[in-house]
Chain A
């Protein structure tokens, strides 16, 4: 009599746990608070302003109008600079300073049509020639963005990665190569 009850109990335990395991397995995700749906990023508006960190000025160079003010006449002739800014090497097509920098207000850049743009909007200036890259950059595919993949993102300006005066990337030192397998395990 007692053994019958024991047997029935044992059977119930086995069957019960089995059912519980199958049930839990099917559910896939255990019962936990659901996270909010991934925020849908709004479609990219062509002329929408982009949020960027402050432009990467050399120390003490901005505002440019500290020197380039009314007391300094504007020399519009294309020439090699010999007195100031001699550290800047220009290797960027056939440009020279005033093709991008605004002669009448040096704290700004200007587009080909003369429209003044701030340094924090310099992507519009670069985008005049590099339209394809500009489009990719807006979509977050050229260059780097920080933030979250499903939410707020901050772009970097072209000038954060490329020196606008010589935009080609300089080679860098690689990190160490992996150790070949024969020597991985310590002896």
Chain B
């Protein structure tokens, strides 16, 4: 039968099949699978968050909120730690574990306090994270707590094959746990050992769960994803100080907006002797160490 002149010729069976397959694949990729936070339409994100909250509430037997608070315009967070004050008491480590729902067993701690010899200065080859004297500070030692340095030029975000980790507009390097495939390239890339992997299903006692969570921060993680310090994104985006800042008994930890000339962080940078760890790697951390005295 002859085709009318204005109509296109029929597709072959093969062409149709491949087009249908492409359409199906496109639909699956875009609509069904998880999406990075900012690629999701708002209503889908809300639905995803509701679903998450329901799942967590079921698991932990308490109402859990998952926030998606965006960065505050005109804010870039930075941190400063006074190594002349730190006494190595590890209060920050445990405040962080409680605030950010880190696994108790297997143990994950985002902050690692290194004990160093005063005679040798900041020397990672001679640092001891497992010190356990009766009392701190020990004679002849000083302490350097290390956590995510929130680099401007973050090596971890460059190596991620799925785009599951990136730098937010307020300078926080975040991880979308739904996108992390657990390849641990970022852990290999991080020069500070700041990233931690959930080798097993994380365990958090039900009564110790912090129910105020953020999508990109302290929401309970599944097995097989990488996690790290987020400057307490669930607190700081609402104007609060990070948990480690609040708990430090000697006030060695300082936090604020780098773009605000009146902030304490700017005062530190302008008036104190400041250093960053492994400066030669050009990672440009936003986590500064200083000598307050």
Contacts and interface: CB of A to CB of B under 8 A. Distances in A.
Contacts of A145: 264
Contact of B38 (A24, A140, A173): A24
Given A140-B264, A172-B136, A174-B133, A3 B70 contact: no
A149 B71 contact: no
Contacts, number: 183
B132 A178 contact: no
A67 interface: no
Report whether over half of chain A's contact residues are helix, strand or loop; otherwise say mixed. Answer: loop
B19 interface: yes
A184 B23 contact: no
B256 interface: yes
Report whether over half of chain B's contact residues are helix, strand or loop; otherwise say mixed. Answer: loop
Interface residues of B, number: 77
A149 B137 contact: no
Interface in A39-73: 40-44
Contact of A139 (B45, B135, B264): B264
Interface string B70-109: 1111110000001000011111011000000000011101
A112 interface: no
**Chain A: number of interface residues, binned into ranges:** 35 or more
Contacts of B89: 172-175
Contacts of B124: none
A93 interface: no
Contacts of B260: 38, 40-41, 150
A14 B23 contact: yes
Interface string A115-152: 00000000000000000000010011111111111110
Interface in B37-84: 37-42, 45, 68-75, 82
Interface in A1-45: 1, 3-4, 6-7, 9-11, 13-14, 17-18, 20-21, 24-25, 27-32, 34-35, 37-38, 40-44
B15 A38 contact: no
Interface of A: 1, 3-4, 6-7, 9-11, 13-14, 17-18, 20-21, 24-25, 27-32, 34-35, 37-38, 40-44, 136, 139-151, 161, 169, 171-180, 184-186
| Shortest 8 CB-CB contacts between residues of A and residues of B | A10-B23, A148-B239, A144-B251, A175-B90, A171-B135, A140-B264, A14-B26, A17-B30
